[in-house]
Amino acid sequence: MNIFVVNCGSSSIKYQLFDMADESVRAKGVVERIGEAGAEAQLTHTVGEQKHKRTIAAKNHTEGLTYILGVLVDPAIGVLGSTKEIDAVGHRVVHGGEKMSRTCRIDPSVIDVIHENAVLGPLHNPPNLMGIEAAMTVMPGVPHVAVFDTAFLSTLPPKAYRYAVPAEWYTKHRVRRYGFHGTSHRYVSLQTAKLLGKPLERLNVITAHLGNGCSMTAIANGQAVDHTMGMTPLEGLIMGTRSGDIDPAIVSYMVTNAGLSAQAVDKALNKSSGLLGLSEFSNDMRDLLEAVDAGNEKAKLAVECFVYRIVKYIGAYYAILPSVDAVVLTGGIGENSVPARSMIVDGLSRLGARLDDQRNHATLRGACGPITTPDSVLPVWVVPTNEELMIARDTKAVISQ
Ligand code: ADP
């Protein structure tokens, strides 16, 4: 069974084609700069170790997807004899709101709900919909399935998802915590259950997805019970360019006292805050750690704030969970950054975490395993995420029902 996974942004289409017989990736790639004024779209298509780059004509997502399908059957760089060999398409959809608590086959009612949630996910749902509509146009004969980023977090209890604001904000305007990165947290929790040899229903873990976007989930008996991101992905941990938690009064303060519009404040909190805002030069952990080594004080502060917020949330989640089998780190920083991981584990010493330096240095490039000592009271694991594979597995499960 071939499952085609599609993840559309406003000017990009990321794709992976899975052979579900062995869950291998037959081809993957990305088209970027779709519809950008004065720029041509760029395709990067990868088969095994072979990377092919092309400038292509794609003014919109339909043209981009048509081109990708052409590449998949191209005799020179393709991997399929015909696009009819694609059995289903799995779409990443960011905001499912309250109605979408699980993966589902896309029909007009699902499209309506994704539209309805565009007000909650204005940056993501409209491009996700463009991708769905384009893919349904160019692949009309196959089932299309939506996998929602918010779905795994739909088990949060009201005490975790309600904000203490006028109740009408929730009942009338749907203001509540939804959470994001759910597909990643779910994949990582399933992997961790396997690695620890525990049934998922008995797994108690804290999963931290630390990439450009960062979020953390408290998981009790296999179900998400709290999460750091909120109504939007802005809340919680410090991220590459997002502030994470701030006093909400700062927004009106900056509007009133700095002459910024509400939109300008929102943009600053999303695009020029976080590691970038604090360091004033980069949102990338690698750059920051290099600068710390060279004695850059702003980079040092940025990394300290980043680690401090993570440790603080782990402490909070430790308090609310029935027990903690492990803290699990994933995402670009969690999977690769030896220094950031070591600072996080050191910060958890009060909870009984003890770093194993050798394990920390050895667990890289897609490897998984503990980075704490065998006698560490609180084990910290690295488990690489794979959101695309989770989407492919979900899609297969839905179309096999
Ligand atoms: P995204 O959230 O955009 O998918 P990633 O999960 O790829 O991002 O994470 C990006 C972050 O991971 C960046 O801060 C980057 O510096 C960090 N990162 C990636 N590789 C390494 C590495 N080898 N060492 C340290 N940090 C890394």
CATH, range 2-148: 3.30.420.40
**Catalytic residue chosen out of the listed positions 149, 226, 356, 394:** 149
Q: What percent of the chain has pLDDT over 90?
A: 96
pLDDT at 220: 98
Domain ranges for the chain? 2-148, 197-387
Confidence of residue 344 (pLDDT cuts 50, 70, 90): very high
Measured from the CB, is residue 342 less than 6 Å from ligand 1?
A: no
pLDDT for residue 37 is more than 90? no
Does 149 qualify as catalytic in the annotation?
yes
Q: How confident is the model at residue 35 (pLDDT cuts 50, 70, 90)?
A: confident
130 alpha carbon to ligand 1 midpoint, in Å?
A: 28
Summarize pLDDT for 358-395 with one digit per residue, the tens. 999 999 999 999 999 999 999 999 999 999 999 999 99
Burial 240-272 (b: 16+ CB within 10 A, else e): bbbbbeeeeeebeebeeeeebeeeebeebbbee
Q: Is 332 in the pocket of ligand 1 (CB under 6 A)?
A: yes
Q: What is the mean pLDDT of residues 295-303?
A: 98
Q: Ligand 1 mean position to 211 CA, how many Å? A: 5
Is residue 208 predicted with pLDDT exceeding 90? Answer: yes
Please identify which residue in the block is written with the tokens 């970027």: 32
Reading the block at residue 107, the tokens are: 């029909």
> Ligand 1 in contact with 211 (CB < 6 A)?
yes
Q: What is the mean pLDDT of residues 128-147?
A: 94
Beta-sheet pairing, 50-56 with 86-93: unpaired
Q: Give per-residue pLDDT as tens, 59-110.
A: 999 999 999 999 999 999 999 999 999 999 999 999 999 999 999 999 999 9
pLDDT score, position 244: 98
Assigned token pair, 191: 């992997």
Question: Residue 123 — pLDDT band, cuts 50, 70, 90?
Answer: confident
Q: Is the CB of 334 under 6 A from ligand 1?
A: no
Q: Does the Cβ of 212 fall within 6 Å of ligand 1?
A: yes
Q: Given ligand 1 and candidates 124, 212, 282, which is best to mutate, with the most ligand atoms within 8 Å of its CB?
A: 212
Ligand 1 centre from 240 Cα, in Å? Answer: 9
Residue 280 has pLDDT above 90, yes or no: yes
> What is the per-residue pLDDT for 100?
92
Residue with CA closest to ligand 1 atom 7: 332
- The response to whether residue 98 sits with its C-beta less than 6 Å from ligand 1 reads no
**Alpha carbons 158 and 118: distance in angstroms, whole number:** 23
- Average pLDDT over all residues of the chain: 96
Q: In this predicted model, what pLDDT tens digit does every residue of 141-195 receive, in sequence order?
A: 899 999 999 999 999 999 999 999 999 999 999 999 999 999 999 999 999 999 9
CA of 276 to the centre of ligand 1 (A): 14
Q: Using a cut of 0.75, tell me whether the model's pTM lies above it.
A: yes
> pLDDT tens, 322-337?
999 999 999 999 999 9
Q: Tell me the mean pLDDT in the region 26-49.
A: 93
* CATH number of the structural domain 197-387: 3.30.420.40
What is the reported pLDDT for 10? 86
Decide if 2-148 and 197-387 have a common fold. Answer: yes
